[in-house]
Amino acid sequence: MAEQARVPALRRAAVVLQRISESDRPMTLSELTQRTGLPKSSVMGICHALTDEGLLARGVDGTYALGSRLYELASAARSHGLAIGDIGFSYPVDESFFVAEIAALRAEADRLGARLHVHAAREDRRTQSRQIEDFVSAGVDFILVEPVATDGLEEACAKARAARIPVVAIGSAVSGADAVVATDNTKAGFLAGSALVATLGGRGRVAVVGGIPITANSDRIAGFLAAIAPHPQVEVVATSHGELDAKSGRRAATEILAANPAVDGFFAANDQIAIGISRVLRSRRRSVPIVGVDGARNAVEEIRSGGPIVATATQDPAALVRAAMDIGITLHGGGHVARPSRYLAPTLVDARNAAEYQPWG
Amino acid sequence: MGIGDSRTPAVHRGARILDAVSSGAATTPATLIGLLGLPKSSIADLLATLADVGFLTRRPDGSLHAGPLLSDLTDPESLVNSVFRACATPDLEGHTISLVRLFGDQIVVVDVHLGRLPLPLTPRPGQRANAAECAGAAAILSALTVAEAAEAVSTAAGHLGLTDDEVARCLALRHRRQRKVYESQSASVGRQLSCAVPNTRYALTLHVPDRWPEPAIAKAARALSVAVRDY
């Protein structure tokens, strides 16, 4: 109550505005006095001040209606964003990149005073689809999805759309999502490919190890292939697919080396696959350069110590999260997003700049 | 009247704080003190009361923002965000859309989602315009019965000093047969398409840019009617 007593005139002004807002027609001073229960002189003073400020409009008959400035202030309040209460985030698996995204999301949610609900889909699109639907049932304000697959989430996204809950994909596009924020993965693949071509001196047999079936990985491979295309003496002799962890990279490398022992270089769709490949090569005391994508700490440490990983094209999980949150907040507030597909530029980390690069995670 | 002459200076000071915060000119107590030249204790009291009644909110990082009461007062049915969100479709992308209500023989713009293309008159929140020049008036009145329409116009007739003829002219905007989309064209406010928001006394208006191709207008009209149906 001590707080309430601080500036009673402001509190009374709020009551007057509420009574007028509730009325379906302009109100007289007498009606306001009666409905607010405040002294008439006080109501009169407040109405005069509110009218002076444009928060009320006084009619020719002396009645009061809401003023134009109140609408302006209300519009500004909406454009500053509705309060964000709950955010849902579904991601594939507890791999370091997603862990870094979650850390950035927690920081953003704390800044907004929002609750973050985080669920791992364990690389299963049905699980991820169900998680999106659960977020819709729970009535979160918007949903962020780091997808396990590009397709297969359309139904869940449609339910979110029907419930007016925006879905923003992070990291890779999703069919049915309202927006996507991702690294420019084609460029990332191109940077990594260019680095491998340079390391090999423009000739050699290379193996490509892709990732899970999302556009990010196909874009990276496309970028890699575009980088080696002008170099006819760089030949892709093996193609395989890993997942999101080093174990899958080990498996892919073992299979590739069994069929093609003379591989001269590897492109890995992400750094954890690259780490797995590196472990196989180290165990066989093979010096074969690997390039990857992510800019992960363990990959950068290998670059600093001389390989086999020689380069990685960076992603910035915190920047991806911030951009996705901005879009989610805008869409939640009913706003339009000028660019619903936003791609952040990667950079290349190799032996020349690895010492200065600050890896995430 | 200046603050010094007012019997309720706190209301003026509160309004200045709301202006500063909502415009982004000041979002911390310290910047408000510098901007308004009021003592720290006065600012603290004003902010505490403004926050307490819902005019302001203080986020966890300490920054001040316009509060939910402002939106509740002007949009008591919480339509603005829902209908604008429903307009986030390719056919309405980049265009100016407003939620309007009737006030006597005027249309009041409750809020606006501004587009990218120039208009003869850029609508602003709180702006009033002659109902006869706004498609929203026909949309709202035509969704009401004759008696409801008469009541809707006459409630503000005294406030605006409308004559019986002026009330009648406004009521003449009502169509006997309801349409999905209403259209208006005037030199001062330009061309508008509008749909009544069902079960409310509001309309959603698309402000049509000059030289916009007719096929795109037809698509936008359909998207507008879907938005008010599905919001």
Q: Closest partner residue to B50 among A10, A17, A66, by Cβ?
A: A10
| Average confidence (pLDDT) over B192-198 | 96
| pLDDT for residue A282 | 94
Integer Cα distance of A224 and A188 in angstroms:
8
pLDDT confidence band for A84 (50 / 70 / 90): confident
What mean pLDDT is predicted for residues A28-34? 96
Question: Would you state the pLDDT for residue A139?
Answer: 86
Going by pLDDT thresholds of 50, 70 and 90, the confidence category of residue A77 is: confident
Determine the number of helices (DSSP H) and then strands (DSSP E) in chain A.
13, 14
Least confident of B32-36, B116-120, B219-223, B225-229: B116-120
CB nearest to B159's CB, from A65, A76, A331: A65
Between A187 and B231, where is the model more confident? Answer: A187
Is pLDDT larger for residue B63 or for residue B48? B48
CB pairs under 8 A between A and B: 190
State the Cα–Cα distance between residues A32 and A221, nearest whole angstrom.
70
Q: Kindly tell me if the per-residue pLDDT of A1 is higher than 50.
A: no
The chain B residue lying nearest A8, using CA atoms, is B49
- B53/A10 CB distance under 8 A: yes
Digit-coded pLDDT (tens) for B96-142:
899 999 999 999 999 998 877 778 888 999 999 999 999 999 999 99
Are A50 and B11 in contact, with CB atoms under 8 Å apart?
Answer: yes
pTM score, two decimals? 0.61
Q: Tell whether A70 is within 8 A of chain B (Cβ).
A: yes
The domain defined by B3-73 folds into: Arc Repressor Mutant, subunit A (1.10.10)
Would you tell me which residues 206-245 of chain A have a C-beta closer than 8 angstroms to some C-beta of chain B? none
Q: Which residues have C-beta within 8 Å of that of residue A49, sequence separation ≥ 6? A: A9, A13, B6, B7, B8, B11, B12, B15
Residue B64 has pLDDT above 90, yes or no: no
Residues of B in contact with A24 (CB under 8 A): 155
Residue ranges of chain B that CATH labels 1.10.10.10: 3-73
Task: Spell out which residues of chain B touch residue A113, defining contact as CB-CB under 8 Å.
Answer: 59-60
Instruction: Choose among B11, B19, B46: nearest Cβ to A46.
Output: B11
List the beta bridge partners of residue B195.
Answer: B204
Q: Which residues of chain B have a CB within 8 Å of the CB of A7?
A: 10, 14, 45-46, 48-49
**Domains, in order of start, for chain A:** 8-79 (1.10.10.10), 86-182+318-344 (3.40.50.2300), 185-316 (3.40.50.2300)
- Give the tens place of pLDDT for each residue, A169-179: 999 888 889 99
**What CATH code is assigned to B75-230?**
3.30.450.40
The answer to whether A61 contacts chain B (CB < 8 Å) is yes
What is the widest separation between alpha-carbon atoms in chain A?
A: 94
In this prediction, residue A82 carries a pLDDT of 62
* Spatial distance between the Cα atoms of B76 and B110, rounded to a whole number of angstroms: 11
pLDDT tens digits, A273-282: 999 999 999 9
pLDDT at residue number A81? 60
A115 to chain B, any CB pair closer than 8 A? The answer is: no
Confidence check: pLDDT of A3 > 50: no
Q: Do A61 and B161 touch (CB under 8 A)?
A: yes
Chain B residues in contact with A164 by the CB 8 A cut-off are 82, 85-86, 231
Average the pLDDT over A234-244 and give the result. 89
Q: Which residues of B touch A59 (CB under 8 A)?
A: 156, 158-161
Q: What is the pLDDT of residues B79-90, one digit of tens each?
A: 887 788 788 777
Supply the mean pLDDT for chain B: 89
Please report the pLDDT score of residue A336 as a whole number.
Answer: 65
Q: Is A85 on the interface with B (CB under 8 A)?
A: no
**For residue A213, cis peptide bond before it (omega within 30 degrees of 0):** no
Residue A205: name the closest of A237, A230, A253 by CA: A237
Q: From chain B, pick out residues whose CB is under 8 angstroms from the CB of A73.
A: 18-19, 22, 66, 70
Q: What does the pLDDT read at residue B60?
A: 63
Q: Touching check for B128 and chain A: CB below 8 Å? A: yes
Percent of chain A at pLDDT above 90? 73
Structure tokens at A177: 């999502």
Q: Give chain A's radius of gyration (CA, Å).
A: 29
Tell me the C-alpha distance between A290 and A308, whole Å. Answer: 6
Residue in A7, A61, A333 nearest the CB of B10: A7
The predicted structure's pLDDT at residue A213: 79
Q: Is the pLDDT of residue A5 over 80?
A: no
| Partners of residue A55 in chain B, C-beta under 8 Å | 15
Q: Where in chain B is the domain with CATH 3.30.450.40?
A: 75-230
Give the pLDDT confidence of B13-53 residue by residue, as tens digits: 999 999 999 887 888 999 999 988 889 999 999 999 999 99
Tokens matching residue A231:
């170099």
pLDDT tier at A184 (50, 70, 90 boundaries)?
very high
Partner A contacted by B212 (CB < 8 A): no
Within 10 A of A85 (CB to CB), how many other CB atoms are there? 12
Ranges A106-115, A204-213, B3-12, B101-110, most confident: B101-110
Average pLDDT value for residue range A288-294 = 96
Predicted pLDDT at B25: 84
| Angle formed by the axes of helices B9-23 and A8-22, nearest 10° | 70
Distance CA B195, CA A122 (A): 46
Closest residue in B to A46 (Cα–Cα)? B8
pLDDT at A317 over 50: yes
For residue A167, list its beta bridge partners.
Answer: A143
Q: What percent of chain B has pLDDT over 70?
A: 96
Torsion angle of alpha carbons A48, A54, A55, A56, nearest 10°? 60
